Amino acid sequence: MKPKKTILLPKAAKSLQILGQNLKFARIRRRISAAMMCERAGISHATLTAIEQGKPSVSMAGYMSVLFCLNMHADIEKVASDDVLGRELQDLQLPKRVHS
């Protein structure tokens, strides 16, 4: 069976590439070798390379393992924490009048 090819919109693919670059730079700034990162994160060297290239085929768990090793996991919890559009859509469906 052929592996599924993950298709992303161009902006999403670019964001993933930037994330990969940022993770690589963070690893290098901390003077953590690729081999040490692989050992700490419990991933293969090929997976680390794919993460640092921003490949969409890597699981979210792989990205999270690297974030935890770099002590950058708290930032992921901020994603979608303030959903302005979702709240506006929800407010549009509130009743116009409230009966007492």
Of the chain, the percentage scoring pLDDT greater than 90 comes to 63
The CATH code that applies to domain 10-92 is 1.10.260.40
**Per-domain residue ranges of the chain:** 10-92
The model's pTM: 0.78
Q: Please give the pLDDT value at position 34.
A: 97
Q: How much is the average pLDDT of 14-21?
A: 96
What's the half-sphere exposure (Cβ side, CA atoms, 13 Å) at 9? Answer: 2
> Distance between CA 50 and CA 87 in Å, rounded?
36
Cα–Cα distances (Å) from 75 to 3, 67, 71, 78, 80, in that order, read 31, 9, 9, 6, 11
Q: What is the pLDDT of residues 25-62, one digit of tens each?
A: 999 999 999 999 999 999 999 999 999 999 999 999 99
What is the percent of the chain with per-residue pLDDT over 70, rounded to a whole number? 98
pLDDT at 27: 96
Helices (H) and strands (E) in the chain, counts: 5, 0
Phi, psi of 27 (to 5 degrees): -65, -45
Q: In angstroms, rounded to a whole number, what is the distance separating the alpha carbons of residues 6 and 73?
A: 24
pLDDT-derived band at 95 (thresholds 50, 70, 90) equals confident
